[in-house]
Amino acid sequence: MKKIIEYILAVPLMLCFCSCLDEHPKDQLDQEEIYNNADNIYKNAVASLYNYIGSNQESEGLQGTCRGIYDYNTLTTDEAMIPIRGGDWYDGGLWENIYQHNWNANDISLYNVWKYLFKVIVISNQSLSVIDDHKSLLSAEQARDFTAEVRAVRALFYYYAMDMFGRVPIVTSYDVKLEQVTQSERREVFDFIFNELLDVAPLLADEHSNKEGTTTDE
Partner 1 sequence: MVGASNTWGFFPSISFTWDLKKENFLINVKPLSMLKLRAGAGQAGNLGGISAYTTMNTVRQTGIVPIKSSPTVTLGMVRNNNPEFKVGNEDDIQHRCGHGALYQRSYTYGGVLLFQDYRHALCLRSPGSAICIQHIARKHRFHVKQRIGIGLSGQPIRKKDMELNVNMNLSFQSNRLISLSGKYKGMSMSAANVTAIGALDGAGQNGGDNNVVYQIVGQPLGVFYLPHCKGLVKNENGSYFYDIEDLDHNGKVDISDGGDRYVAGQATPKVILGSNISFRYKNFYVSIQMNGALGHKIFNGTGLSFTSMACFPDYNVLKDAPQKNIVDQRVSDYWLEKGDYLNFEHLTLGYNVPLKSKTLRSLRISGNVSNLGTITGYRGLTPMINSYVVNSTMGIDDKRNYPLFRTYSLGLSIQF
Please give the residue ranges that form the binding site for partner 1 (CB under 8 A): 21, 23, 25, 27-32, 34, 42-45, 47-48, 50-51, 67, 84-95, 97, 104-109, 115, 118-119, 121-123, 126, 169, 171, 176-179, 181, 211-214
Shortest Å distance, C-beta 146 to partner 1: 13
Q: How far apart are CA 139 and CA 88, in angstroms?
A: 58
Shortest Å distance, C-beta 135 to partner 1: 19
Q: How far apart are CA 189 and CA 162, in angstroms?
A: 7
Residues 135, 143 contacting (CB under 8 angstroms): yes
Residue closest to 169 by CA, chosen among 158, 154, 156, 160: 158
Of residues 57 and 198, the one with the C-beta less far from partner 1? 57
Of residues 119 and 198, the one with the C-beta less far from partner 1? 119
Q: How far apart are CA 81 and CA 99, in angstroms?
A: 7
Q: How far apart are CA 39 and CA 205, in angstroms?
A: 17
Its sign, for the CA torsion 82, 158, 126, 137, is positive
Shortest Å distance, C-beta 83 to partner 1: 12
Shortest Å distance, C-beta 157 to partner 1: 12
Shortest Å distance, C-beta 90 to partner 1: 4
Of residues 121 and 131, the one with the C-beta less far from partner 1? 121
3-state secondary structure of 85: strand
Of residues 92 and 202, the one with the C-beta less far from partner 1? 92
Of residues 43 and 187, the one with the C-beta less far from partner 1? 43
Q: How far apart are CA 63 and CA 83, in angstroms?
A: 21
Q: How far apart are CA 128 and CA 145, in angstroms?
A: 11
Of residues 31 and 198, the one with the C-beta less far from partner 1? 31
Shortest Å distance, C-beta 2 to partner 1: 27
